């Protein structure tokens, strides 16, 4: 890399500079959200508007918590629900989707074309239109007001499977054949070869699955009738919907925004290194 830097032409240097400036510009929302949440009330409405916080305060979070303590369900219950749901969904989606992706990417069998066709078609359907049939199915199964009602619908993740099919099909067949000759079982091949080699793809699907589950309001609104089973996203959303245009609620909105954003950031930081993990060092391709 140093050798490359020394050889850098003026063109490359300008390119990197412009690129960095662009990256800074792109990350402005993060900076804004972080700062906005700690602004005291008077700074939120300052003129001319300030981007950065001057006198950081935790007052906004305090009023967010106080807001919750007036309700019948404590704030921590929503948080607990969200953590449970997000954690289990993430783990289950990784396993279930990778298994399905492996079977669909590497083997020929009956119904394969049918399943593939259904997956690609389902990617396109707007989820808004299937809310009511989904509700009927969930209540038919009797899993409303349970954690299953949160987790099971998320397991049907055609996007994750679609991505894994593409990725796993790039793993050379020779490797799987070799393992078979060495006497590995189907489960063995899956856990020892397919799972480790699809880490970049798994990291990618983890990031967007977590993001989807953490921010999901639909399952809480449609499938959960008991307030104690609803998630943080639902709580924050119901808080924000009335506050968008009100002056007094802006501080709560800012704090809630940060609260919803931080876990996404943490998961992303945890997994992004895996996204960039190279397959080359393991002797693949």
Partner 1 sequence: MNTQLSPNIAKVKAKSQLRLKWNQFWREIRRDSFLYLFLAPFLICFLLFIVIPVIMAATLGFTSYDGFGSLHFIGIDNYISLFTQDIIFLTKAIPNTFLFALIVGPGGYILSFLFAWLIHQLPLRIRDYYTLAFYAPSMAGGVALSVVWIATFSGDRVGYFNNFLLEMGWINSPVIWLQDPKHLLNIMIIVSLWVSFSVGFLAMLAGLQTVNRELYEAGRIDGISSRLQEVFYITVPSMKPQMLFSAVMSIVGTLKAGGISTQLTGMPITPSYSGHLIINHIDDYAFIRFELGYASAVSVMLLLISYFAMRFAYRLFGSKEEL
By beta-carbon proximity to partner 1, the closer residue of 170 and 228 is: 170
By beta-carbon proximity to partner 1, the closer residue of 69 and 244 is: 244
By beta-carbon proximity to partner 1, the closer residue of 81 and 251 is: 251
Within the chain, residue ranges assigned H as helices are 2-7, 10-26, 28-37, 41-44, 59-69, 75-106, 112-124, 131-141, 147-155, 158-168, 173-181, 186-189, 195-197, 199-214, 218-223, 232-243, 250-275
By beta-carbon proximity to partner 1, the closer residue of 133 and 182 is: 133
Closest CA to 157 of 105, 94, 211, 113: 94
CA distance 156 to 78: 24
Q: What is the H or E stretch that residue 194 is in?
A: none
Least Cβ distance, residue 186 to partner 1 (angstroms): 5
Least Cβ distance, residue 240 to partner 1 (angstroms): 7
Least Cβ distance, residue 230 to partner 1 (angstroms): 17
By beta-carbon proximity to partner 1, the closer residue of 74 and 142 is: 142
Least Cβ distance, residue 114 to partner 1 (angstroms): 11
**Which one-letter DSSP state was computed for residue 282?**
G
Least Cβ distance, residue 108 to partner 1 (angstroms): 9
CA distance 257 to 33: 7
By beta-carbon proximity to partner 1, the closer residue of 83 and 115 is: 115
Least Cβ distance, residue 72 to partner 1 (angstroms): 26
Are the CB atoms for 123 and 161 separated by under 8 Å?
Answer: no
By beta-carbon proximity to partner 1, the closer residue of 169 and 228 is: 169
DSSP 167-188: HHTTS-HHHHHHHHHTT--HHH
CA distance 133 to 140: 10
CA distance 39 to 55: 7
For 224-247, b where at least 16 C-beta lie within 10 A, e where not — what string?
beeeebbbbbbbbbebeeebeeee
Least Cβ distance, residue 161 to partner 1 (angstroms): 6
């Amino acid at each position: 890399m140093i050798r490359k830097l020394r050889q850098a032409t003026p063109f490359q240097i300008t390119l990197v500079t412009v690129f960095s400036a662009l990256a800074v510009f792109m990350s402005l929302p993060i900076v804004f959200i972080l700062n906005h949440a700690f602004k005291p009330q008077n700074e939120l409405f300052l003129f001319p508007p300030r981007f950065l916080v001057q006198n950081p305060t935790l007052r906004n979070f305090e009023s967010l918590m106080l807001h919750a303590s007036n309700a019948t369900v404590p704030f921590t219950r929503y948080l607990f629900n969200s953590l449970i749901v997000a954690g289990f969904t993430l783990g289950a989606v990784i396993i279930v989707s990778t298994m399905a992706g492996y079977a669909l990417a590497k083997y020929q069998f009956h119904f394969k074309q049918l399943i593939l066709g259904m997956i690609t078609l389902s990617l396109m359907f707007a989820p808004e239109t299937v809310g009511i049939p989904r509700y009927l199915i969930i209540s038919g199964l009797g899993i409303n007001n349970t954690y299953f009602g949160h987790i099971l619908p998320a397991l049907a993740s055609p996007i994750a499977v679609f991505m894994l099919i593409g990725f796993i099909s790039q793993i050379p067949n020779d490797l799987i054949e070799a393992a078979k000759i060495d006497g590995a079982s189907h489960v063995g091949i899956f856990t020892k070869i397919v799972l480790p080699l699809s880490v970049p793809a798994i990291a990618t699907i983890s990031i967007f699955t977590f993001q989807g589950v953490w921010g999901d309001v639909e399952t809480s609104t449609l499938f959960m009738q008991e307030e104690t089973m609803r998630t943080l996203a639902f709580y924050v959303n119901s808080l924000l919907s009335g506050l968008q245009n009100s002056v007094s609620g802006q501080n709560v909105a800012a704090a809630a925004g940060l609260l919803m954003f931080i876990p996404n950031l943490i998961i992303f930081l945890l997994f992004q290194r895996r996204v960039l993990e190279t397959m080359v060092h393991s002797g693949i391709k």
